[in-house]
Amino acid sequence: MSYLFVCSLALVGLTAATLVACGGSEEEKTTAKAETTADVINWKMVTTWPKNFPGLGTAAEDLAKNITAMSNGRLTVKVYAAGELVPALEVFDAVSRGTAQMGHGGAFYWKGKAPAAQFFSAVPFGFTAQEMNSWLHYGGGLKLWEETYAPFNLIPMAAGNTGVQMGGWFNKEINSLADFQGLKMRLPGLGGEVLKKVGGTPVNLPGSEIFTALQTGTIDATEWVGPYNDLAFGLYKAAKFYYYPGWHEPGSTMEALYNKDAFEALPEDLQLIVRAATRQVNADMLDEFTARNNTALETLVNEHNVVFKAFPREVLIALKNASAETLEEVAAADPMSQKVYDSFKAFNSKVRAWHEVSERAYINARELE
């Protein structure tokens, strides 16, 4: 039993459900059961993920199950995969207008509605998962995220992180920056803006459409997540070359979206349960990807003969320079983006200084012989 689960049960200690768990007269138990049944709140969750998709999709399912269990059934959540209730890229609007009370996806999908949103998913050459979570929860990032989504009647929360992703699947080798010229690549968010700057064409596609687009030549390359998810999608059947590192998504945060009216209508204890369940799923996704990625990578290389290569150093340097220019331009074009980016940069300088003498210093020391 997880710590958050125990804490959440404690939060509802005064509810009718706890009377059953802790004893009491038969009359009290009967009354408590009747009250619990009568007070059930039913929510819908829409997602950007295919049904039962490993890691990303199962995180949404786990979030729904945890909320239902932690509330002792007082708040139940039914999950709808992409296309079941609304298309994948309409999750934001569906939750905003109340078609569903909550959603699960990635903030970079909504840059057309709120340009600042993409800073809360992944920033090229930006935060790792650990750094991103720290900025959101202790560096003011979450407050800015809430401010960004407030005009849309939405409350955002971090609900998963993939860790450092892979650089993507390509139908040709990448030997220099010139190989990005005219390249059509599925690459959303800020990474797509960087690709555009170096001569490529970014394409925004939901996960369910990636394989077919790559196989038919509609796109020349794609990024998705990493070995665990990429193996499940069978992307090795559509492209031969697999590159690392994922410069565009060094710590990709997934989001849970809550309709503000629906969330604030919940009693306080259920609001706390929702927040605790979301925080738990946020941590669990990173644990799962860290545990499963290397095994999946071995399968891709050893069983499917994938050509696994690092981007050339000069390519990474050029992409890093283009990323710095892109971030400044995106921020300057939108006041909210500038506000978010200023916070991002200030936190980045401090956390990087600390990690130089902690995380990086330790990893370097661990490699000593």
Q: One digit per residue, pLDDT tens: the chain, 369 residues? A: 444 444 444 444 434 343 334 445 554 443 344 344 458 999 999 999 998 899 999 999 999 999 999 999 999 999 999 999 999 999 999 999 999 999 999 999 999 999 999 999 999 999 999 999 999 999 999 999 999 999 999 999 999 999 999 999 999 999 999 999 999 999 999 999 999 999 999 999 999 999 999 999 999 999 999 999 999 999 999 999 999 999 999 999 999 999 999 999 999 999 999 999 999 999 999 999 999 999 999 999 999 999 999 999 999 999 999 999 999 999 999 999 999 999 999 999 999 999 999 999 999 999 999
186 annotated to bind ligand: yes
165 annotated to bind ligand: yes
Global pTM value: 0.88
Q: Look at phi and psi of residue 23 and say left if phi exceeds 0, alpha if psi is from -120 to 50, else beta.
A: left
80-104 burial string, b = 16+ CB within 10 Å, else e? bbbbebbebbbbbbbbbeebbbbbb
360 annotated to bind ligand: no
285-298 burial string, b = 16+ CB within 10 Å, else e? bbebbbebbeebbe
Instruction: Indicate where the chain has its CATH 3.40.190.170 domain(s).
Output: 3-16+40-161+256-290
Q: Which residues contact 283 (CB under 8 A, 6 or more apart)?
A: none
3-16+40-161+256-290: CATH, from 3.40.190.170, 3.40.630.10, 3.30.420.40, 3.10.310.10: 3.40.190.170
Q: Which long-range contacts does 173-182 make (Cβ < 8 Å, 24+ apart)?
A: 173/241, 173/309, 174/241, 174/243, 174/309, 174/311, 174/312, 174/315, 175/312, 176/312, 176/314, 176/315, 177/314, 177/315, 177/318, 177/319
Q: Give CATH for domain 168-250+303-366.
A: 3.40.190.10
Yes or no: say if 8 and 70 are a contact pair by the CB < 8 Å rule: yes
